Amino acid sequence: MLNQISKFSPLPSSFVALDFETTGLYPHLGARIIEIGAVRVEGSRILDRWSNLVHTPSLPASISRLTGISEVQLRKAPTLVTLLPQICRFLGAGPIVAHRAAFERRFFYDACARCGLPGPRLTFICTHALAKTRLPHGPSYRLADLCGHLGIGEGLRPHRAPDDAERAALLALALDGVGPAESNGTQ
């Protein structure tokens, strides 16, 4: 079951924000992960980042236009089987923060199953659900719109996993009242 922060739960002091770019919405219908982005947060600071493109033999033109990622880039990228152990190490024991966390959770556990890896038991915290609780009259609950409304994440590229993971981290902190995260400058 997807765990979400209620309006009565404070944000954990450390977490990893996660985002995937994919070829579609549903892994059981053949959609695949094409990019993974994650940022580790302690207190209000982004301490570390991890990202990688994922080898995929074909990419719908609409997804390439949306993300700016090309088929050529994906053909040269490492496979999910190679990358999944690395991202699992980066995620550690969680918790994981994501915007529309059910989406990220579904793709994460599908990837683990397809790669023959046991999916670690992780708690997922959904910034979309948190925003609906904390900003009941928000302009929109899209990640970029919420960040724009709150004045955070300026200059980050939409629909790129590393930037959307950072945006999710900043949004979680802002919604929790901690304020924007400071970066230590790691890439």
Please say whether the beta carbons of 66 and 90 come within 8 A: no
Residue with tokens 């995260």: 181
Band (11; pLDDT cuts 50, 70, 90): confident
Q: What is the 3-state secondary structure (H, E, C) of 43-81?
A: CCEEEEEEEEECCCCCCCHHHHHHHCCCHHHHHHCCCHH
Is residue 180's pLDDT more than 90? no
pTM: 0.90
pLDDT (mean) for 78-98: 95
Please say whether the beta carbons of 128 and 104 come within 8 A: no
Domain boundaries, given as residue ranges, for the chain: 14-176
Tens digit of pLDDT for each residue in 51-71?
999 999 899 999 999 999 999
If DSSP codes are grouped into helix, strand and coil, which group holds residue 98?
strand
Band (187; pLDDT cuts 50, 70, 90): very low
Q: Does residue 74 or residue 181 have the better pLDDT?
A: 74
Pairing of strands 33-42, 45-53: antiparallel
Is residue 22's pLDDT more than 60? yes
Is residue 6's pLDDT more than 80? no
pLDDT in the model for residue 3: 44
pLDDT in the model for residue 9: 62
Domain 14-176, second-level architecture: 2-Layer Sandwich (3.30)
Tens digit of pLDDT for each residue in 155-178?
899 999 999 999 999 999 999 885
pLDDT in the model for residue 94: 87
Number of C-beta neighbours around residue 143 at 10 A:
25
